[in-house]
Chain A
Amino acid sequence: MRKSFKLYPSAAKLLAVLFAATAFLSACGGNNANNNGAASPSGSNSPSAPASESASASGESASPSSGAATDSAGGKDGGQVVVVIPQDIDYLDPHLAVAAGTSEVLFNIFEGLLKPNSKGELQPAIAESYEISPDGLTYTFKLRDGVKFHNGNPVTSADVKYSYDRLAGKDTGKPLLSSFASVDTIETPDDKTVVIKLKENNTSFLTALTSAVIPKDYQDSNKKPIGTGPFKFKEYAAGQKIVLEKNPDYYVKGLPHLDQVEFRIITDAEAAYLAFKSGEIDLYPRIGTEKLAELGDEFGQQSGPQNLVQELVLNNAKKPFDDIRVRQAINYAIDKDEIIQGVALGQGLKVGSHLSSVLKQYYQEGLEDLYKTDVEKAKSLLAEAGYKDGLNITISVPSVYPFHVNTAQVIAQQLEKAGIKAKIESVEWAVWLDRIYKGRDYESTIIAFDGKLNPYDILNKFLSDAPNDFFNYKNPEYDKTLKSALTEVDETKRADLYKKAQTILAQDAAAVFIQDIYASVAYKKNLAGYQLYPIYVQDLSTLYWEK
């Protein structure tokens, strides 16, 4: 590019430079694989290493035609699968890993006392059964027989205590996972029993028990992780791949089917797509709706709600959004259906509050159309609020997520009809995290929130005192409702409180709740058994090659 400022003697040279410039442009461009960004603070911008083409050259890794070498036994078993992921992992140690992109890999290696299934329900894993005392303070777990670590040792209550003490920060005083902060003591009356006592009632505590159990006093988790999951760790090449192999001792009979899986890191979406189309890759999670539509029938595909709620976040403390009428006006001016059609190609589910309908039990229905698109109403609300002659706002969007940038463009056009002039400002991801998410210095922004299994962990972002309440939303009634939901032991009453919390958010127009962006995944036609999860994981244990 430097050259382009000099003077060219001839047209031929100019053309050469133009080509060079074009090459430069295309080299720097398609950096972002994901087109629907999740707002896990440490989420996506792991340092990107060059996608390795050499990965398949090394002896043991999957050959492009993994399907062919399958099934000597004649059943579903055997073969290997290459899965593409868009970023490197941050830690191999499951207790230290924070990035969503890491937990989706580690999900196959580690298990907790409990484990979510593809519906998002908690199932006993290392534990066989459990009991909760009526006051909600004592949890008693009975461990399953025959669960072994990948090193061959059986899992005992001491391992569980060690793991969860580590997460609760018993030695350091600083919990590695905030949900463990409410743990008082962990006792092990015998080898097969674990008793956890809490300082205070916390109904969302069970989901924390999906956290990984590792062998007692094992210090090498970050180099050679040992868990109890369906696959065991085999090899990790930073920036290139993570290879896992079958755990033959897995306690669920018949699982997993595959002998080996490889997560290959390809940061460039176009490169990943080409590798997938050429057959080098067998499974492409989060391929994006646009590409999914392009693929056609030669590939298998699935898409569905994934508990990832996209929102136009309004800074409730900043003018003009401190006025509820302005927030409502914006809600009325925006046509969510058009966004879903235009940006997500129909692959999205309209929502009305800060929770996806994936969590059926807790989802408050009917809020989606609380603000049915009505430009006239928007205008009159604006006039009431004193913005009769229109209003100028700024929407800051993280430039790494084309999905959100595109949404911003559609929104800007919709707002214009109501007399709101929206300026779009694209910001770097690092700036977004720092200035907008942590610094709360913005007017409005577009982001998607990755879901958790427990509604409390999703809704607590709006608590007045939440450190990540970058909405600057403050409503004592909401705080009271959500906090009482946390301690409410009765299932139905708890669900009602969560529903009420959602209603409050919607009525306050705390943000514009747009859609649950579908997860989309594509795989080779003869790869079967894939399950979509409502959380950010890839479960490879059920995959198998069809004959």
Chain B
Amino acid sequence: MNSGKKITLWIGLTLVALLFVLMAVSLFYVPYGANEMNIAGRLQAPGAAHWLGTDNFGRDILSRIMEGTQTAFSVGFFSVCIGLAGGFLLGAAAGYLGRWADELLMRAVDALMAFPGILLALILVTIFKPSLGQTIIAIGILFIPSFARVIRGGFLQTKEADFVKAARGMGAGHAALIFRHIVPHILSSVIVTASLCFSAAILVEAALSYLGLGVQPPDPSWGRMLNESQAYMSKAPWYALAPGLFITLTVLGFNLLGDGIRDLRDRRA
């Protein structure tokens, strides 16, 4: 049982690590320029020169996938940051203050949560002009409820724990209570949420870009590549396969990682 759960963690970790390496490499080296067109060599099948083939403008798909990891990871990272910051403010306030503040904030969070996520993202991106920055903000806002709930739950649990009561009895201030005593205890569940939101962010970015509302051409994004590849499905199936595969692997990796960390924590507890 235990070893089985550990495997989840290891697979997740390996996948995520590999993708990180790919992204790190792409910062310094890609086989061809990601936006470099070569009309004569369009829609080439995977081969020695182009490992994943070329797209309808003769751009190297591998290079675009590699640069796409930067897009995916920056969307994942920054939107989780926004979600975490917003979620912490709301969740901590609700959980720590309790009573009416809790009621008020959590109902607001419920309302946000009840709204279909992709629709909210679409509205936000439509209001602002579509671009990478707006996409990140929109997705970040989407994540606030998830974080707020987890953090509030953690606060409610630990607030009444003996060691917190003891610390309060010894005259610790609010800031000390929150950051020195409560936060370390809820950290692991926040990390799990962050990991899962990371993969969700990549998926939403792909969906938005697929709909033409996320990353704007010609900058590479997996979702947009999927969108563009669709017209060549029967002629060049590898074009759609590459971004599809990478989205799947990334989401899978982060989810397995999140599950693994949670299992680890559960066992310890």
Contacts and interface: CB of A to CB of B under 8 A. Distances in A.
Scoring B218, B233, B244 by chain A CB atoms within 10 A of each residue's CB, the highest score goes to B218
Contact of A399 (B8, B212, B255, B258): B212
Given A5-B143, A25-B207, A413 B218 contact: yes
Interface of B: 8, 35-37, 39, 42, 56-58, 116-118, 129-130, 142-143, 146, 192-193, 196-197, 200, 203-204, 206-207, 210-212, 216-218, 226-228, 230-235, 244, 248, 251-252, 255-256, 258-259
Contacts of A9: 259
A218 interface: no
Nearest to A402: B231
B37 A413 contact: yes
A290 interface: yes
Given A5-B197, A8-B196, A25-B210, 4 more contacts: A11-B255, A30-B230, A410-B57, A425-B216
Given A18-B248, A290-B231, A409-B218, A1 B142 contact: no
Interface of A: 1-2, 4-11, 14-15, 18, 21-22, 24-26, 28-30, 35, 270, 290, 294, 338, 341-342, 399, 402, 405-406, 408-410, 412-413, 423-426
A410 B37 contact: yes
B252 A11 contact: yes
B121 to A, nearest CB: 9
A24 B118 CA distance: 11
Given A342-B42, A425-B130, A4 B252 contact: no
A399 B258 CA distance: 36
Given A29-B210, A409-B57, A14 B252 contact: yes
Contacts of B116: 1-2
Main secondary structure of the interface of B (DSSP, over half): helix
Nearest to A428: B126
Given A29-B230, A342-B42, A4 B203 contact: yes
Given A4-B203, A294-B234, A406 B56 contact: yes
A277 to B, nearest CB: 9
A426 B210 CA distance: 12
A11 B259 contact: yes
Contacts of A425: 129-130, 216
Nearest to B219: A424
B255 A424 contact: no
A18 B259 contact: no
19 contacts: A1-B116, A5-B142, A5-B143, A5-B200, A7-B258, A8-B255, A8-B259, A11-B256, A14-B255, A18-B248, A25-B210, A25-B226, A29-B227, A290-B232, A290-B235, A405-B212, A409-B37, A410-B39, A413-B218
B142 to A, nearest CB: 6
B217 A408 contact: yes
Contacts of B203: 4, 18, 21
Contacts of B207: 1, 21, 24-25
A24 B203 CA distance: 12
B37 A5 contact: no
A7 B192 contact: yes
A408 B228 CA distance: 14
A424 B256 contact: no
A22 B129 CA distance: 25
B151 to A, nearest CB: 14
A424 B259 CA distance: 39
A424 B214 CA distance: 12
A5 B217 contact: no
Scoring B207, B233, B258 by chain A CB atoms within 10 A of each residue's CB, the highest score goes to B207
B217 A405 contact: yes
A414 to B, nearest CB: 9
A408 B233 CA distance: 22
B63 to A, nearest CB: 14
Contacts of B130: 425-426
B117 A341 contact: no
Nearest to B12: A11
Contacts of A22: 244
B248 to A, nearest CB: 6
Contacts of B200: 4-5
A1 B117 contact: yes
Contacts of A8: 196, 255, 259
B39 A341 contact: yes
Contact of B117 (A5, A7, A29, A290): A5
A11 B233 CA distance: 28
A426 B146 contact: no
A6 B142 CA distance: 11
Contacts of A35: 231
Contact of B37 (A10, A342, A399, A426): A342
